Amino acid sequence: MTGPYVDLSDSLNFVNGYPHEFFTWLREHEPVYWHEPTAATPDGEGFWVVSRYDDVNAVIMNPKTYSSDKAGERTGGGTAIKDEVSAGRVLNQTDDPYHRRLRDLVNKGFTVKAINALEEELSRRTARLVEDLKAGEPFNFAERVSREIPTQAICIVLGVPESDRMMLCEWVEAGIEKPSGSVISLDYVKKIRSYAQTLIDDKRAHRGDDIFSTIVHAEFEADGSSLNDYELRSFFSLLFPAGAETTTRSISGGLLAFLEHPEQWQRLQADPTLIKTAVEEIVRWTTPSVYKRRTATTDTVLSGRNIRAGDKVTFWEMSANRDDAIFERPFEFDITRSPNRHIGFGAGVHFCLGAALARLELSIVFATLARSGLALELAGEPEWVPNNRLVGLKNLPVRVAAKA
């Protein structure tokens, strides 16, 4: 490679945010690029890096060629650069028809009606949170505001009692902070799974009105069976990083975007009907779930490069969402952007299960903040989480200046 180089397997290369310059170069010069193995890819294998929107789509929309599960003898599979033990067992790391089976059942819980039913409680909690923001001392917005609503939302979905919610959230944060190139630490997995089993036993005995209870009791039309404990535990463990962490990062990244583009904030305050397009732009701009990995099931060709069966293929949604072949002025944050064909929620069979919930949370948080008339300002240097998979802020120092 003759251009710039960033080791994408090293989470420390994401401590200043996403390496946009490198990807702009890749999209132009090496859209399907072979990344050599590094110290942070302990499986000892290199991987493909797909950066253009159209190529990313070609991979996502073709799960027979690019598997989310294992792909034969050579590799372990999964959706991270590093092979994952959960490959082939968890919703996002399986292929059809097993994936379809799991997804059909969890869809029975994630209905439009069930998601809309959360609106009132999330709005009430957000209003309280925003009311408590007072002029004066700086505070960490990422911790105090961004984390709260997604954590509450996922816990309401899962029927987790109020008293356990912050404890679960801390386990997840501790797991994700590890700059190891892997998303989740094993210690976290053990704790969360054991907690999940207790909750499943409880839901089986006493069905609640939460979405997780619906899923625990849902039956397959074909034979009347339900998801087993293993499948339910795995699903539970997936939802925290998949749901809470991504949305938290979108809220912090969205606020930072507004602070850096105050004219966009004024537009939203002046015209609250812009919230819908604003939310889509926040997801495009922040793309917190920045890449996924698939495994090639067969020899194939992508944009002129020969990919071999068993190769790891990573595709970078964040890069696709800044591709100027698709988006006009991709590096401008524009809350009126329309159309906005971002793939921040993925596409195809693994399209984000929680997209409607995430959109609801983002709408409530930003509409409430905009309505409040609070003038927020940056009170220090933002700090990023050292993670290459879920990119976002861990510290967003903000001060309430005054009421506008």
Each residue 257-296 as x (binds ligand HEM by CB under 6 A) or -, in order, gives --------------------------x----xx--x----
199 binds ligand HEM (CB under 6 A): no
CB of 355 to ligand HEM, least distance (A): 6
What residues contact residue 207 under an 8 Å CB cut-off, 6+ apart? 213, 216, 217
Closest to ligand HEM by CB, 368 vs 400, is 368
Residue from 168, 358, 364, 374 touching ligand HEM (CB under 6 A): that is 358
Residue from 78, 159, 243, 382 touching ligand HEM (CB under 6 A): that is 243
Residue from 345, 367, 370, 374 touching ligand HEM (CB under 6 A): that is 345
Closest to ligand HEM by CB, 330 vs 344, is 344
Closest to ligand HEM by CB, 90 vs 274, is 90
Residue from 357, 367, 396, 400 touching ligand HEM (CB under 6 A): that is 357
Alpha-carbon distance of 361 to 1, in angstroms, equals 42
- Taking a C-beta distance cutoff of 8 angstroms, is the pair 36, 43 a contact? no
227 binds ligand HEM (CB under 6 A): no
Closest to ligand HEM by CB, 286 vs 300, is 286
Tell me the residue nearest to ligand HEM as measured from the CB.
Answer: 354
CB of 353 to ligand HEM, least distance (A): 4
Contact stretch for ligand HEM (CB under 6 A) within 2-10, 216-224, 305-313, 343-351: 343-351
Each residue 295-334 as x (binds ligand HEM by CB under 6 A) or -, in order, gives ----------------------x-----------------
24 binds ligand HEM (CB under 6 A): no
Residue that is written with structure tokens 């309430």 in the block: 400
3-state secondary structure the chain: CCCCCCCCCCHHHHECECCHHHHHHHHHHCCEEEECCCCCCCCCCCEEEECCHHHHHHHHCCCCCEECCCCCCCCCCCCCCCCCCCCCCCHHHCCCCHHHHHHHHHHCCCCHHHHHCCHHHHHHHHHHHHHCCCCCCCEEHHHHHHCHHHHHHHHHHHCCCHHHHHHHHHHHHHHHHCCCCCCCCHHHHHHHHHHHHHHHHHHHHCCCCCHHHHHHHCCCCCCCCCCCHHHHHHHHHHHHHHHHHHHHHHHHHHHHHHHHCHHHHHHHHHCHHHHHHHHHHHHHHHCCECEEEEEECCCEEECCEEECCCCEEEEEHHHHCCCCCCCCCCCCCCCCCCCCCCCCCCCHHHCCCCHHHHHHHHHHHHHHHHHHCEEEEECCCCEECCCCCECCEEECEEEEEEEC
241 binds ligand HEM (CB under 6 A): no
103 binds ligand HEM (CB under 6 A): yes
92 binds ligand HEM (CB under 6 A): yes
250 binds ligand HEM (CB under 6 A): yes
CB of 323 to ligand HEM, least distance (A): 16
175 binds ligand HEM (CB under 6 A): no
172 binds ligand HEM (CB under 6 A): no
**Which residues are at the interface with ligand HEM (CB under 6 A)?**
60, 68, 79, 91-92, 103, 154, 157, 238-239, 242-243, 246-247, 250, 283, 288-289, 292, 317, 344-346, 350, 352-354, 357-358
